[in-house]
Every structure is written in C-alpha cells, then in structure tokens.
Amino acid sequence: MNHKKRVLVTGANGFIGRRLCQKLQEEGSIVRAFLRREISGPWDEVVLGDLTAPSLPQGMMTGIDGLYHLAGKAHALAETVKEESQYETVNVAGTKALLKEAQNAKVGFFIFFSSVKSMGDGGDEVLTESCQIPPQTPYGISKLAAEKLVFSAEKIPHRVILRPTMVYGPDNPGNLEKMILAIKGGYFPPFPNITNHRSMLHVDDLVQAAILAANQKRAHNQIYIVSDGEGYSTRQLYIWMCAALQKQLPIWSVPLPILKLLAIVGDGIGFVQKKRFMFNSDALAKLTDSAIYSSEKIKKELGFKPKWNLKMALPLIVKSCIK
C-alpha cells in the first residue's frame, strides 16, 4: 500500500492556500491546515494557532511529511511603522518558529512562498535569481530575512524558496479586481498608452510550481522566480478589461502629466487624513512602472510550464468580480 503524504499548509484559507490545498487533496495527499480560526475548506485536518503567538500548538507537525509555508503579512502599498513591525513579527519571527518546529519534528520538506519583492522592485531590465538587488521595501526586507532562515535550517533535508510575481485568478481581492470594478463603475480613467511591462502569474500555475518544487530533489536549496512568462502593460489590461466587461473602449485617454498631478493631490489628501488615499503616487507607480522577472530557471530545471496567461484568465476573473 502506498504511503499517503501528510502535508501541513500555513495560510491555508488564503487565496493561494485554498487552491493549493484543493490540488494536494486531488493528488492524494492528506492536508492539515494551519488556521487562526476554525473554518471549513479543502483540507482533512485542522490545527489552530497564530504565528505571532508566544508558542506554536504542541504536536502541530506530528506525522507531517512536508510543509508549504504561505502564511504571512502581505505587502501594503503604503507601509506604516506599525506594518513594518508586523512584517518582522509575522514574516521573520513566525517563519523562524515554524522552522524550529519542523526541524524538531523531522519534517522532510519545507516550501517557502517568498516574493520577487525580496530582490527589489524591478524595472525594464529582466531580473533573474542571480540578480543581487537589495529589497526596496520593509515587506521585501522581511521576506529576504525569512529566506535566509529557511536556507540555514539544515536539519530539513529539502528546502525550496519560491518567488512569485503578482498572482492573479478568480476570487482574488487584489489590485486587478479593484481595477476591474473601477472600470465597470466608470471611475477608472481611460489609461494612456504607456509601454510598461509587469510579470504576473496565475494562481494555478503557482500551485503547480510549488508541487514540482516539493517533489523534485533537484529543487533542494534553490530559489525559483515564478511567472507566466509574459509582460503586461497597464494599457493592455485596460483594453482587455473593457472587452471582458463588454464596455466600449473610449477613443480618448488621460495624459500622463494629468495623472501625475492627480497623484500628487492624492498624496496631499492622504497626508491630511493620515490614511492612504485610493489614488496617490504609490498607486500611479504601480500602474506605470515596469517589473519584469524571468522564470526560465524553474522551467529548465523542474519542467514548469505555465498553463495560463492573463488574457485567457480575465473573463473568469471579471465574472468572479461582478457575480
């Protein structure tokens, strides 16, 4: 009789975590979800706990073959001092505590979901895993620090770090959904033809990459950037979203200098209100800057083949936004 793998997934109830747990179950693994509160989902067992607690639940890794670590404090556009300390507490100290438990329990593999933010914000140059660019944000700094902890946990025989680009897919309450709803509502301005390029990744392809990384010995002690291999401009996204929403594409667009002026106004409103305004310089940079990353290494070494691109996925994403 074949031994069924028993795996622990932290952050199991998140957008990526749920898709990962579902796929692991489909492939025959017994999935134990690490959650902060009891909730039903595609898992077989639940252990309740919090990465910020003084200690992790006793026996949470008993009988576990491997661990997929997704839980963490997510990147915020405007990072406050409070959020900066939370990155340290959750992303660094939380990972350290998990690694200690995993080593004590003799867990076989540890797949860490990091971020391309751990190697800077990118630009027009295509970045690879060998690029030694320091992170630009407190979030990125915390992810890089956690990566170093993973590599130092030598008692775990198989350790892999994944650096996903921006992840898309249905039911993801992120920036793409906000843009779709803004276009649908008529308050996202017709975007100018700026030739920026951003790497992205479908959630199901990230799940595929994680399972490949767990199952191939060659992946041990490696870092892999994961993207769908394409670069998307904001103007492209705007056109595709209008088409998916069945909205007529405006024949005019807002010039970039006007958008920059509006962003400065948004900065001022945020300063006065002491909270981030919905459109400011950070938001504009996200829409106009480039961030391109290569996933050739994981394709070559692990046989990773993305099945999705954003144009294919957009109709389903739009449907999930406006249901």
Q: Does any domain span residue 252?
A: no
Q: pLDDT over 90 for what percent of the chain?
A: 81
pLDDT score for 213? 98
What is d(CA 9, CA 247) in angstroms, rounded to the nearest whole number? 40
Q: Does any domain span residue 256?
A: no
- Per-residue pLDDT band at 198 (split at 50, 70, 90): very high
* Average pLDDT score over the chain: 93
Q: Does any domain span residue 320?
A: no
- For the cut 70, the answer to whether the pLDDT of residue 300 exceeds it is yes
Q: Which long-range contacts (CB under 8 A, 24 or more apart) does 34-43 make?
A: 34/8, 34/9, 34/10, 34/60, 34/71, 39/13, 41/12, 41/13, 42/18, 43/9, 43/12
CATH code of residue 85:
3.40.50.720
For the chain, the 3-state helix, strand and coil shares in percent, each to the nearest 5, are 40, 15, 45
Q: Does any domain span residue 226?
A: yes
Q: Does any domain span residue 164?
A: yes
Buried b (16+ CB within 10 A) or exposed e, 289-299: bbbbbbbebbb
The pTM score is 0.94
What is d(CA 140, CA 249) in angstroms, rounded to the nearest whole number? 37
Going by DSSP bridges, is the β-strand pair 6-10/30-35 parallel, antiparallel, or unpaired?
parallel
Q: Does any domain span residue 110?
A: yes
pLDDT score for 144? 97
pLDDT score for 102? 97
Q: For the residues 265-291, what does the mean pLDDT come to?
A: 88
Q: pLDDT over 70 for what percent of the chain?
A: 97
Domain assignment of residue 35, given as a range: 6-169+200-231+292-308
Q: Which two tokens stand for residue 65?
A: 């073959």
- For the cut 70, the answer to whether the pLDDT of residue 1 exceeds it is no
pLDDT score for 278? 78
Q: For the residues 138-144, what does the mean pLDDT come to?
A: 94
Q: Does any domain span residue 298?
A: yes
- In the block, which residue shows the tokens 């933010």? 117
- Per-residue pLDDT band at 277 (split at 50, 70, 90): confident
pLDDT score for 273? 87
How many structural domains does the chain have?
1
- For the cut 80, the answer to whether the pLDDT of residue 269 exceeds it is yes
pLDDT tens digits for 52-97?
999 999 999 999 999 999 999 886 655 555 567 889 899 999 999 9
Q: Does any domain span residue 131?
A: yes
pLDDT score for 93? 94
Angle formed by the axes of helices 256-273 and 281-288, nearest 10°: 140
